[in-house]
Amino acid sequence: MKKYIKDFEIKENISLTAQYSVLKLSPIDGQMPKTLPGQFVQVYVGNSRNTYLRRPISINYIDYDKNELWLLIRDAGEGTNSMIKSPNGSILNLIVPLGNGFSINNGHSLLIGGGVGVAPLLYLGKVLKERGNEVSFLLGARSKCDLLLLDMFSQYGNLFLSTEDGSMGEKGLVTQNSVMQTDFDFIQCCGPKPMMMAVANIAKERNIECEVSLENMMACGIGACLCCVEDTASSGNVCVCKEGPVFNINELKW
C-alpha cells in the first residue's frame, strides 16, 4: 500500500483519564490515505533529543465521512506525553499507513484487547461489522478506569469485560472470562505479550484460527533498521513493522 508522510491537524484532543487521550486528526491537505485495521502510523515528536525517532501508534479508528483518523495514546514516556499534551489545532506529522493489518474474515470474531492494545480493535470491529459479520469484544484492564471508549466499542459488537480488581465486568484476566468458553470462528488479539501468548495457547487447544498484533520495539517502522525482528516458522527473522505487526499464531515460535 502506498505510504504517505503527511501533516495532520489535531481537531480534538480528548483526555479520557490522566494516562489516556484520544487524538482526532484530519489531514491538512484533506486527503485521507486508505488504511487497513491493524495498521499503524509513525508519529514525529521532534521537540527533544530523546524523541528524534518517530513513535509507532496503532490506527484506533477511521471515519472517512468526517475525514478523521483517531489515535488512542497511553502516556508511557516523553514522546507519548508530548502527544497527549498537544493542544487542539496543533500539527502532527505521520507516516501512514504502516504494517500489514488484520485479516477481514467472514464469521464470528472474538476481538481480545488488553490495556492500550484495545486501540486497533475498534477500527477492526467497525470494518468486520460493516461487512456483515458478528463481532464480540473482550476487553481487559487492571481497573474500571482503564477500560476505554466502551460506548464506541458497543456500537460494533457484543461487549465482554474483565478487570483484575473486579471493578467492572468479570474479575480476573481476559483468559479467565467466561466468554472464552463460547465458540468463535476467529480470535484476533492485541495487548501485552503474556496475554497474547495465553490467548494463543487457548486458541490452539480449541483449534480456533487466531491472529495477534505484536508491539516489538520499533525505530524506523519501514523495515530498514532491523530492530523489530521476530523469528517466524516459515520465513525466519522478519521485521514486525513491515511483515507484521499482525501474525497468525502458527507463524510465531512462542
Instruction: Kindly list the residues in this chain that would bind ligand FAD in the complex (CB under 6 A).
Output: 40, 51, 55-58, 72-74, 76-80, 116, 119, 215-218, 245
Among 111, 218, 238, 249, binds ligand FES (CB under 6 A): 218
Contacts of 222-227 with CB under 8 Å at 24 or more apart are 222/3, 222/95, 222/98
Nearer to ligand FAD, 215 or 230 (CB): 215
- Residue of the chain from 3, 225, 250, 254 that contacts ligand FES (CB under 6 A): 225
Contact 221, 241 (CB under 8 A): yes
Tell which phi-psi region holds residue 30, choosing left (phi > 0), alpha (psi between -120 and 50) or beta. left
Which among 194, 241, 191, 236 has a CA at the least distance from the CA of 218?
241
239 part of the interface to ligand FES, by CB under 6 A? yes
Task: From residue 96, give the alpha-carbon distance in Å to each of 5, 42, 201.
Answer: 7, 7, 32
Alpha-carbon Rg for the chain in angstroms:
17
Question: Minimum distance from CB of 240 to ligand FES (Å)?
Answer: 6
220 binds ligand FES (CB under 6 A): yes
Residue closest to 254 by CA, chosen among 177, 199, 186: 199
- CB of 116 or CB of 198, closer to ligand FAD: 116
**Can you tell me which of 224, 231, 235, 237 binds ligand FES, judged by CB under 6 A?**
224
Provide, rounded to whole angstroms, the least separation between the CB of residue 238 and ligand FES.
Answer: 9
| DSSP-derived secondary structure letter, 168 | S
Nearer to ligand FAD, 114 or 245 (CB): 245
Chain residues that interact with ligand FES, rule: CB under 6 A: 218-221, 223-228, 239, 241
